[in-house]
């Protein structure tokens, strides 16, 4: 039985058959990790803000948005899987916990025209006016997902949006064409500027494939101009931050880098998002691995049109903060970000990247649960994930499918999940975990309609 209303951050909403936001999740909306100055996520946020001084900075926008903001305004199709209640936390059919910071793109762009001061006033560095033309939004985002060391149903993103007057872009393109014609293209100057940005091979970045097309509203040159600007900015940001991280680690373990200067190769993989085209996924090679850190692209012109900014063209990126923070600070488990244990929180200070020192790991306790899938209802794994979270809170470290088979005669499917319980700050007793596991089993029968084996 659902309550008729639920309250999020002091506002009451009516519930309906879409409502699936759990109390555990709703609690997280008030944690405000990005505002705790010594929290690794807040430190990273500030480092990124600093790299974009001429952008308006938002980190204060409520996670409760309309379905329109999160999906429709960005051109998500009616049947896009992201809309599904198995992936998204709904407050009700029309209201949800944002699944990405892109939910604020249209609203913030349009705030300029609509003189929406209430919204614009949330910007921190008001000197960056006009605050709807270039902005960053850092925020908590919510997605129903599996449970393991790198997935948590709440995480943080940084959205970047930068728009240009199309007339100005045309102007710059004309001037560049003149200059190239005069000096013989790829002259010494061009080579020098390529050298300078040696981390970014900008020549790769303008390649725009068939499956990743320039929008019909844009010329190829315009789109390339915007994409190059975006890639240069993102590249600079990432290099600045990783350089800081390497410097911090050097002082502790003396990591050698080539020619004394760290290098971070970057690559851009073609991607698809409903609200950008062309689109890319940015990956950085760091400590032996290609790390996928953000989606980005040239903003759909229809969004600019809807914002009353048809005369402008822009780029956007959406950057996950946890992944990078785990790397920079050497944080091994995503749950630690939510820890209030002073052995975690006291290790960090504003404007500093330092390597997390693991405090003793407490023994884990593992329980398996085997069951037959319901034959009438559909079974969604994420329902099980939420159920375990509701019952065990942050004592659950991972839930993994370890076996699945169909009975040859009955055709029924059996699954076995392994639940790993482990506290980050104390030893758990087998007794207490048994009680939790019993409760999980009971709820699985009652709520998910499975038959335990």
Among positions 49, 317, 329, 348, the unique one binding ligand PHE when judged by CB under 6 A:
317
For the CB of residue 153, give the shortest distance to ligand PHE in the complex, in Å. Answer: 14
For the CB of residue 301, give the shortest distance to ligand PHE in the complex, in Å. Answer: 14
Q: Which CB atom, from 40 or from 295, has the smaller least distance to ligand PHE?
A: 295
CA dist., res. 119 & res. 135, Å (int) = 13
Q: Which CB atom, from 122 or from 136, has the smaller least distance to ligand PHE?
A: 136
What distances in angstroms separate CA 193 from CA 229, 234, 310, 406, one per listed residue?
14, 17, 32, 62
What distances in angstroms separate CA 311 from CA 140, 167, 176, one per listed residue?
32, 8, 21
The Cα angle at residue 174 between residues 164 and 163, in degrees rounded to 5: 5
Instruction: Using alpha carbons, select from 449, 445, 451, 372 the residue that is nearest to residue 412.
Output: 372
For CA atoms 388, 393, 395, 396, the dihedral sign is positive
Q: Which CB atom, from 281 or from 390, has the smaller least distance to ligand PHE?
A: 281
Q: Which CB atom, from 62 or from 194, has the smaller least distance to ligand PHE?
A: 62
For the CB of residue 258, give the shortest distance to ligand PHE in the complex, in Å. Answer: 31
Write the binding mask 382 to 411 for ligand PHE: x where contact by CB under 6 A, - elsewhere: ------------------------------
CA 110 to chain centre: 23
Half-sphere exposure of 411 (CA within 13 A, CB side): 1
H/E stretch holding 201 reads: none
For the CB of residue 118, give the shortest distance to ligand PHE in the complex, in Å. Answer: 24
**Could you tell me if residue 287 is left (phi over 0), alpha (psi between -120 and 50 degrees) or otherwise beta?**
left
Cα radius of gyration rounded to whole Å, the chain: 24
For the CB of residue 432, give the shortest distance to ligand PHE in the complex, in Å. Answer: 37
For the CB of residue 275, give the shortest distance to ligand PHE in the complex, in Å. Answer: 6
Sequence-separated (6 or more) residues with CB below 8 Å from residue 255: 246, 249
CB 188 within 8 A of CB 272: no
Collapsed DSSP state (helix, strand, coil) of residue 140: strand
CA dist., res. 131 & res. 134, Å (int) = 6
Applying CB under 6 A, does 301 fall inside the site for ligand PHE? no
Among positions 43, 131, 282, 316, the unique one binding ligand PHE when judged by CB under 6 A:
316
For the CB of residue 323, give the shortest distance to ligand PHE in the complex, in Å. Answer: 12
Both tokens of residue 343? 């052995």
What distances in angstroms separate CA 356 from CA 48, 85, 193, 332, 405, one per listed residue?
20, 36, 38, 9, 42
Among positions 296, 334, 384, 444, the unique one binding ligand PHE when judged by CB under 6 A:
296
Stretch that binds ligand PHE, among 128-136, 295-303, 366-374, 385-393 (CB under 6 A): 295-303
Half-sphere exposure of 263 (CA within 13 A, CB side): 12
Write the binding mask 97 to 116 for ligand PHE: x where contact by CB under 6 A, - elsewhere: ---x-x--------------
CB 334 within 8 A of CB 322: yes
Applying CB under 6 A, does 337 fall inside the site for ligand PHE? no
Stretch that binds ligand PHE, among 258-266, 292-300, 350-358, 360-368 (CB under 6 A): 292-300
Among positions 63, 318, 330, 398, the unique one binding ligand PHE when judged by CB under 6 A:
318
Q: Which CB atom, from 161 or from 392, has the smaller least distance to ligand PHE?
A: 161
For the CB of residue 307, give the shortest distance to ligand PHE in the complex, in Å. Answer: 15
Applying CB under 6 A, does 297 fall inside the site for ligand PHE? yes
Write the binding mask 252 to 291 for ligand PHE: x where contact by CB under 6 A, - elsewhere: ---------------------x--x--x------------
How many residues touch ligand PHE (CB under 6 A)?
A: 11
Write the binding mask 57 to 96 for ligand PHE: x where contact by CB under 6 A, - elsewhere: ----------------------------------------
Binding residues for ligand PHE, rule: CB under 6 A, are 100, 102, 273, 276, 279, 295-297, 316-318
């Amino acid at each position: 039985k659902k309550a008729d209303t639920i309250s999020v951050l002091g506002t009451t909403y009516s519930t309906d058959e879409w409502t699936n936001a759990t109390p555990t999740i709703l609690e997280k909306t008030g944690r405000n990790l990005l505002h705790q100055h010594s929290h690794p996520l807040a430190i990273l946020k500030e480092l990124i803000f600093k790299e974009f001084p001429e952008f308006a900075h938002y980190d204060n926008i409520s996670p409760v948005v309309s379905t329109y903001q999160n999906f429709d305004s960005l051109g998500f199709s009616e049947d896009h899987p992201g809309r599904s209640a198995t992936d998204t936390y709904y407050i009700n059919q029309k209201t949800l916990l944002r699944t990405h910071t892109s939910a604020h793109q249209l609203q913030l762009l349009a705030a300029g025209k609509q003189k929406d001061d209430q919204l614009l006033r949330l910007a921190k560095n008001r000197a960056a006016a006009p605050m709807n033309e270039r902005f960053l939004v850092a925020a908590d985002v919510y997605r129903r997902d599996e449970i393991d060391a790198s997935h948590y149903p709440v995480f943080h993103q940084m959205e970047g949006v930068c728009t240009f007057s199309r007339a100005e872009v045309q102007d710059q393109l004309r001037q560049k064409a003149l200059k190239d014609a005069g000096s013989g293209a790829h002259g010494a100057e061009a080579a020098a500027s390529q050298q300078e940005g040696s981390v970014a091979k900008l020549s790769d970045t303008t390649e725009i494939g068939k499956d990743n097309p320039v929008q019909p509203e844009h010329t190829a040159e315009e789109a390339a101009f915007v994409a190059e600007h975006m890639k240069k900015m993102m590249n600079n940001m990432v290099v600045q931050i990783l350089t800081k991280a390497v410097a911090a680690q050097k002082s502790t373990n003396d990591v050698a880098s080539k020619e004394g200067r760290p290098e971070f190769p970057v690559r851009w993989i073609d991607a698809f998002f409903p609200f950008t085209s062309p689109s890319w996924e940015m990956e950085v090679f760091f400590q032996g691995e290609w790390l996928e850190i953000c989606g980005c692209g040239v903003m759909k012109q229809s969004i600019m049109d809807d914002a009353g900014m048809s005369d402008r063209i822009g780029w956007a990126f959406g950057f996950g903060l946890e992944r990078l923070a785990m790397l920079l600070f050497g944080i091994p488990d995503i749950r630690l970000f939510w820890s209030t244990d002073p052995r975690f929180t006291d290790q960090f200070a504003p404007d500093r990247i330092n390597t997390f020192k693991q405090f003793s790991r407490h023994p884990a306790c593992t329980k398996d649960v085997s069951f037959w899938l319901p034959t009438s209802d559909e079974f969604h794994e994420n329902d099980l994930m939420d159920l375990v979270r509701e019952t065990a809170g942050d004592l659950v470290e991972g839930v993994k499918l370890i076996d699945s088979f169909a009975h040859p005669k009955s055709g029924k499917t059996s699954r076995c999940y392994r639940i790993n319980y482990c506290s980050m700050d104390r030893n758990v007793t087998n007794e207490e975990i048994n009680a939790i596991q019993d409760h999980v089993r009971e709820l699985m029968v009652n709520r998910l309609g499975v038959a335990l084996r």
